[in-house]
Amino acid sequence: MEMLEEQRENWGTRGGFVLAAIGSAVGLGNLWRFPYELYDHGGGAFLIPYIIAVFVVGLPMLIMEFGLGHLTQRAAPDAFAHGHKRFEFVGWWSTILGFVIISFYAVVLAYCFSFLWFSFKGILAGGELPWAAEGIEGVKKAEDFFLKTYLGHTTGSALGAIRWNIFWPLVVTWVVMYLCICKGVKLVGKIVWLTVPLPWLMLLVLTVRGLTLPGSIQGLAYYLNPSWPELAKATTWRFAFGQAFFSLSLAFGGVMITYASFLHRRSDLNNNAAIICLADFGTSFIAGLAIFSTLGGMAFVTAQAGTEVAINQVVRGGAGLAFIVFPYALAQLPYSAWWSFVFFFTLVTLGIDSGFSITESVLAAVVDKTGWRRGLVLPVMTVIGIAVGVIYTTEGGLNWLEVVGDFIDGTWGIAFLGLTECVVLGWLWRIDTLRTHANDRSDWNLGRWWNYAIRIVVPIVLGTIFFWSLFEDLTQAGGFIFDEQGNWILKNCVGLTVVAAAPVLAVAVSLIKSPVRAEQYDNVPGVKNPNLCAGRMGGFVAFCLAIASAAMLAVVVLRGNISGKIQNYFLFQSLTVAIVAILISNYIVDKHVGDYSFPSWLAGWAGIIATLDISAFLAVTLTNLTKKAPTATATHAPAEHLTGVSDVILGVMLLMIIGGLGWCFYRAMAAAGKDESDLPEPSSGPVD
Ligand code: PFF
């Protein structure tokens, strides 16, 4: 079903699109955040939640976003509005969060540009890096260089003065992003042939170099030796999911919806999504090998020199890994300025295409809604982006950058937004339309299980993480909004305000009437005739059951003082009732998928509430179980060698990445060899 018979700009080739989507996914997050998240949350054990996040939740959602963008040929807000005008806010919500992300992502890119420049100057100065010093003092010097000399960092919540040495690189970053996208996606489709393979090549060089350094195995032991008790913490799962969404550019910004909207009408969706997930996962995993093997080399060299610096003494999160620890480690090794140049060049090229992907999707959202010219909106957006970014270029900017980043990635931003996308499309829209649309043109087909993955499994998983971490946040020692002395915890309040303001603002923007759109939605099935609503009675019953289940859960959560027996009784009854509600509403929603009837909204809402009930049930159960579990031991006791389990983890991961990509390419080639007449007729849209 092609909804829009109009000529939309397109990528040119399949490769252009796949690389652009990989370019968006593979970014600073892979090299700057993933290795540290893995190290900090259980080493090899973190791969379990992460793989679930990428392949059980991320992949089906990516196909969903591709399907939606491709079917509607619109950026996120308009794409959601195609289902119903009321859904438009979901698209704006993700676009607004996208804008918040790009405002700080560009600042981190600005740091990368600056460090690239310092490394270049180091090369010119005969190889001396400005932060180089030996032993543990060297770490202090690298830290001082980044925090004091470069950032002029102040702790606390005050912003302080603007740092012009960050501001100008920020302007450079925005100008580069502007130049990449100003000519439209055709040019982007060409630029990514450089910005994707080049950092991969350099990452490969960094990895080979790291792995061949003496002591590298010790680094890998820190990276991969698993600490299983970490899996019992909500934070581990939350970080795994936050990282997976951030890394795949999912939900945030509606990037993948927008990118797919520029794809020509015959292009594959399912296989492309699988390739992108595998490539993104592979890049993260290999980036970790590069980083930690090099740190192993650093530990070895410092031990040899009698000034031993152990890996667990230096590794830290946030910007610390990329701008303090790794530059320090490189400074301990031969040809440090050259390697530092390679590392920051990798970061810049990795990050720039992720950066402009968000800019492009925000731009497309505004252009689709207003009909204003790209050439006008882009410069205005660039100026606004720089103006907002100024907050993070101040002396206290790094603190706020981390706060905003954590909130958007965590429970409050992404778990909630991703969940909303899935329930809206799964329960209130015709998810099967997206499946058949994707199957009609893909190298391999999705079964009906995919509908249930989007409608039930993914929301339950995301909902569980949402409630589980909510309970953890709210019960944390000292409080979440107020500290023990009753004072506001400013950073949590600001973070919460930003994430809570996004949906409110989104609703407001979606209410503004678009001058260019209106009549386009007339032919959308289900919306055409909202009165032909079927299954009202069943929907009503399911709705009552879902509410009853929610009420029982509320009793369990809010009345902590009831006896254990009653608590368990309510808990399990709520589960049973929610399952029945889901079965009824799922039946109604599935049955009324014809063009001339539309399932009752009550049935859809019953399904949504019941999936949330099940999530809350799981979260309460997990909270109870993990309360009793022994507290985790220190994650990273000094380790010299990879354990047997880590060897297995390493082997399985490499097999999965190589085997998975091999399979996808085989399917793509097999499909390309098929008779062209098997493919659906293209609409008037562009073809290669
Ligand atoms: N995926 C990018 C990374 O891993 O660095 C970051 C990103 C890009 C997040 C685009 C969100 C987005 F819309």
Ligand 1 atom closest to 28 (CA) = 5
Q: Determine the distance separating the centroid of ligand 1 and the alpha carbon of 25, expressed in angstroms.
A: 5
Is the pLDDT reported for residue 521 higher than 70? no
Q: Determine the distance separating the centroid of ligand 1 and the alpha carbon of 100, expressed in angstroms.
A: 12
Ligand 1 atom closest to 254 (CA) = 13
Q: Determine the distance separating the centroid of ligand 1 and the alpha carbon of 418, expressed in angstroms.
A: 15
Q: How confident is the model at residue 332 (pLDDT cuts 50, 70, 90)?
A: confident
438-485 tens-digit pLDDT: 999 999 999 999 999 999 999 999 999 888 888 877 776 667 777 777
% of the chain beyond a pLDDT of 90: 56
Q: Which two tokens stand for residue 414?
A: 């992404």
Ligand 1 atom closest to 354 (CA) = 8
Angle at 462 between CA 457 and CA 464, to 5 degrees: 95
Q: Which two tokens stand for residue 671?
A: 């499909």
8 Å CB contact between 423 and 608: yes
Is the pLDDT reported for residue 22 higher than 90? yes
N residues, the chain: 688
Beta strands in 136-199 (DSSP E): none
Q: Which two tokens stand for residue 610?
A: 């019941």
Q: How confident is the model at residue 680 (pLDDT cuts 50, 70, 90)?
A: low
Q: How confident is the model at residue 110 (pLDDT cuts 50, 70, 90)?
A: very high
Ligand 1 atom closest to 253 (CA) = 13
Q: What is the DSSP letter of 287?
A: H
% of the chain beyond a pLDDT of 70: 91
614-637 tens-digit pLDDT: 999 999 998 888 776 655 554 566
* Average confidence (pLDDT) over 90-96: 94
170-212 tens-digit pLDDT: 999 999 999 999 988 888 888 999 999 999 999 999 999 999 9
- Which tops the pLDDT comparison, 475 or 418? 418
- Around ligand 1, the residues with Cβ closer than 6 Å are 24-25, 27-30, 98, 101, 246-247, 249, 252-253, 255, 354, 357-358
Distance CA 169, CA 149 (A): 16
Q: Name the residue of 31, 249, 352 to mutate for ligand 1: max ligand atoms within 8 A of Cβ.
A: 249
Q: Determine the distance separating the centroid of ligand 1 and the alpha carbon of 105, expressed in angstroms.
A: 8
Q: Determine the distance separating the centroid of ligand 1 and the alpha carbon of 27, expressed in angstroms.
A: 6
Distance CA 412, CA 43 (A): 25
Q: Determine the distance separating the centroid of ligand 1 and the alpha carbon of 29, expressed in angstroms.
A: 7
Q: How confident is the model at residue 305 (pLDDT cuts 50, 70, 90)?
A: confident
209-246 tens-digit pLDDT: 999 999 999 999 999 999 999 998 888 988 899 899 98
- Give the closest residue (by CA) to ligand 1 atom 7: 249
pLDDT at residue 355 in the model: 93
Q: How confident is the model at residue 594 (pLDDT cuts 50, 70, 90)?
A: low
Average pLDDT in the chain: 87
8 Å CB contact between 215 and 300: yes
Q: Tell me the residue type at 619.
A: A
Distance CA 621, CA 616 (A): 8
8 Å CB contact between 688 and 13: yes
